[in-house]
């Protein structure tokens, strides 16, 4: 083998460029007040820097590699999050977690209604050639981030003929991050001016890792014959292997026995591999817990702190690769729906969350609101970023609600697979919109009525 060959080095070279972009963005964010006060996430800034360099011809990237990183990054990140050992001690916290999951999925549905109303209105008036189901990509970009925007956009582009669908979805994801940073920061400043909240100083924002933060009781040692981080990576990769095998098995069976259904469902199953991976991770977590309970296994193998770091790494790389892979040429003719969806999605999502967060998080309303808004327009990392401005030590349950709520959200969000597959089909667009509305109403009913004590007769 010729070890000097570009074939051997190409992946690492481009990975090194992405790493260099992250480090450069981190320096810019720390040294330039505009980026620091604007709360632009480092990964988002790095993605835009590399996108700029790519657009002007300074850097060349392998488009397939960027898409591959984006595709696998979201699955690895969610598997790592789902393997974390939850710290929920009472029924009230479990109820808040389930309602947080319902809030997350209802926000997806709310964004889907906004997007579909815009795309349908434009398609039946001034833009008759517009892909009518393109509005579905608003919750994929805003609520789920570049990974799912990439996957669903690609599926719509290759399977249903939505020209420029992938770049449209990724552009919405990038706009979502800007909403989290711009609208989120403006809203924080309004609350500070009205003395609703107090912004913390840089000294208060610095934190440290304690033993309690790093390690739970009865965990495996940091390093024995194998490093503790290696165990976490092995668990994540094992679950991801199981994800591949399960998805391959299901799609093969569908292809052999239900080829008509397979044409629609199989691309969605591969595109939504992170949901299957997350469910398998939750199952794996439950099996490991049963092993410990039955004394078959004496120690806890998952380390929530390291799994969070592994998840954060996967999400950061995914964000950079996803934004860098945007091709503005593919957005020709799509700027009008993109602009309308981006603006309405950012503003209306904030108003929607203001109403529901007051119901779900009465004791830490603003912390719950800004964290959820950051996540519903970006990712968990942007939600935590906004939260740390007013809760630097994460003393409220708001940050934990993002993770536990996402676990419930994975289960409650499974019907979205059906909706995404139905919407582009002939004659199914308005039926899909109706299903979205009915499911949204059911989730709102759960949020408002679940947990209420019955009145004594």
pLDDT digits (tens, 9 = 90+) for 269-314: 887 787 788 889 989 999 999 998 888 888 888 888 888 889 888 8
Instruction: Determine the pLDDT at residue 199.
Output: 61
Better-scored residue on pLDDT, 234 or 312: 234
Output Rg (C-alpha) for the chain, integer angstroms: 22
Q: Please state the rounded mean pLDDT for residues 142-168.
A: 85
To the nearest 10°, report the CA torsion of 401, 406, 411, 413.
120
Q: Quick check: 47 and 174 in contact, CB under 8 A?
A: yes
Indicate the pTM of the whole model.
Answer: 0.72
Instruction: Determine the pLDDT at residue 203.
Output: 52
- DSSP-derived secondary structure letter, 86: P
Instruction: Determine the pLDDT at residue 55.
Output: 86
Q: Quick check: 437 and 117 in contact, CB under 8 A?
A: no
**Six-digit token string for 222:** 């940091």
**Six-digit token string for 40:** 């632009």
Instruction: Determine the pLDDT at residue 174.
Output: 81
Cβ count within 10 A of residue 11? 13
Q: Quick check: 168 and 155 in contact, CB under 8 A?
A: no
Q: Please state the rounded mean pLDDT for residues 316-343.
A: 84
Kind and range of the H or E run holding 180: helix 165-193
**Six-digit token string for 363:** 């004791």
Mean of per-residue pLDDT scores for the chain: 84
Spatial distance between the Cα atoms of 51 and 21, rounded to a whole number of angstroms: 10
Q: Please state the rounded mean pLDDT for residues 87-93.
A: 60
What's the half-sphere exposure (Cβ side, CA atoms, 13 Å) at 118? Answer: 23
Kind and range of the H or E run holding 17: helix 6-31
**Six-digit token string for 170:** 């990724």
What's the half-sphere exposure (Cβ side, CA atoms, 13 Å) at 225? Answer: 0
**Six-digit token string for 380:** 């968990």
């Amino acid at each position: 083998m010729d070890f000097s060959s570009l074939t051997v080095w190409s992946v690492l070279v481009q990975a090194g460029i992405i790493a260099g972009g992250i480090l450069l963005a981190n320096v810019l964010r720390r040294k330039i007040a505009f980026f620091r006060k604007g709360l632009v996430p480092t990964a988002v800034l790095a993605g835009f820097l590399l996108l700029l360099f790519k657009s002007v011809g300074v850097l060349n990237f392998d488009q397939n590699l960027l898409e591959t990183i984006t595709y696998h990054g979201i699955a690895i990140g969610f598997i790592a999050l789902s393997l974390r050992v939850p710290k929920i001690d009472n029924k009230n916290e479990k109820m808040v977690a389930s309602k947080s999951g319902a809030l997350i999925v209802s926000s997806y549905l709310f964004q889907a209604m906004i997007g579909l109303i815009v795309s349908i209105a434009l398609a039946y008036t001034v833009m008759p050639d517009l892909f009518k189901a393109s509005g579905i990509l608003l919750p994929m970009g805003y609520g789920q981030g570049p990974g799912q925007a990439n996957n669903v956009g690609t599926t719509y582009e290759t399977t249903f003929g939505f020209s420029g669908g992938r770049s449209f979805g990724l552009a919405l994801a990038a706009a979502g991050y800007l909403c989290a940073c711009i609208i989120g920061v403006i809203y924080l400043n309004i609350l500070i001016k009205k003395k609703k909240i107090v912004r913390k100083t840089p000294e208060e924002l610095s934190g440290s890792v304690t033993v309690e933060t790093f390690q739970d009781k009865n965990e495996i040692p940091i390093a024995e014959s194998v490093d503790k981080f290696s165990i976490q990576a092995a668990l994540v990769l094992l679950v991801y292997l199981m994800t591949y095998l399960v998805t391959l098995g299901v799609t093969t069976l569908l292809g052999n026995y239900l080829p008509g259904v397979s044409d629609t469902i199989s691309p969605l199953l591969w595109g939504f591999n992170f949901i299957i991976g997350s469910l398998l991770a939750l199952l794996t977590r439950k099996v490991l817990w049963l092993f410990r309970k039955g004394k078959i296994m004496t120690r806890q193998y998952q380390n929530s702190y390291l799994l969070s770091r592994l998840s954060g790494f996967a999400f950061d790389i995914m964000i950079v690769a996803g934004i860098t892979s945007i091709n503005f040429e593919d957005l020709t003719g799509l700027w009008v729906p993109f602009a309308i969806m981006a603006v309405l999605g950012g503003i209306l999502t904030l108003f929607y969350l203001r109403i529901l967060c007051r119901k779900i998080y009465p004791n830490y309303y603003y912390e719950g609101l800004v964290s959820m808004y950051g996540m519903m327009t970006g990712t968990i990392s942007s939600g935590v970023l906004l939260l740390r401005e007013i809760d630097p030590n994460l003393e409220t349950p708001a940050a934990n609600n993002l993770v536990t709520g996402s676990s419930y959200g994975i289960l409650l969000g499974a019907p979205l697979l059906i909706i995404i597959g139905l919407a582009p089909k002939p004659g199914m667009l308005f039926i899909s919109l109706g299903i979205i509305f009915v499911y949204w109403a059911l989730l709102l009913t759960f949020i408002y009525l679940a947990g209420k004590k019955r009145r004594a007769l």
